Amino acid sequence: MFRILSFSLGPVETNAYLLINEESKEAIVIDPGMNPGPLMKALDGLQVKAILLTHAHFDHIGGLKEVRDEYSCPVYIHSREAEWLLKPELNGSLMWPHVSAPMIFAQAEHSLEDGQVLELIGYQFQVMHTPGHSPGSVSFLHGKHLFAGDVLFRTSVGRTDLRDGDHDTLIRSIHEKLLPLGDDVTVYPGHGPTTTIGFEKQYNPFI
Q: Answer whether 30's CB lies under 8 Å from 15's CB.
A: no
Q: What average pLDDT does the structure give for the chain?
A: 97
Place 168 in a pLDDT band, splitting at 50, 70 and 90: very high
Residue 106 one-letter amino acid: A
Cα 187 from chain centroid (whole Å): 12
Between CA 119 and CA 133 the distance in angstroms is 26
Cα 193 from chain centroid (whole Å): 14
Cα 90 from chain centroid (whole Å): 17
62: alpha, beta or left? (left if phi > 0; alpha if psi -120 to 50): alpha
Place 10 in a pLDDT band, splitting at 50, 70 and 90: very high
What domains are there in the chain, each with its CATH number? Answer: 2-203 (3.60.15.10)
SS3 19: strand
pLDDT at 106 over 90: yes
One-character DSSP codes across 191-207: SS--EEHHHHHHH-TT-
Q: What is the pTM of this model?
A: 0.97
Average pLDDT for 117-127? 98
pLDDT at residue 91, rounded to an integer: 97
Strand positions, DSSP E, 56-121: 75-78, 110-112, 117-120
What confidence tens digit (pLDDT) does each residue in 19-47 have? 999 999 999 999 999 999 999 999 999 99
Between CA 166 and CA 74 the distance in angstroms is 29
Average pLDDT for 181-185? 98
SS3 51: strand
Average pLDDT for 62-72? 98
pLDDT at 188 over 90: yes
Q: Answer whether 157's CB lies under 8 Å from 170's CB.
A: yes
Exposed / middle / buried, residue 45 (Cβ in 10 Å: 0-12, 13-18, 19+): exposed
What confidence tens digit (pLDDT) does each residue in 141-166 have? 999 999 999 999 999 999 999 999 99
CA-based R_g, the chain, Å: 16
Between CA 106 and CA 103 the distance in angstroms is 10
pLDDT at 96 over 90: no
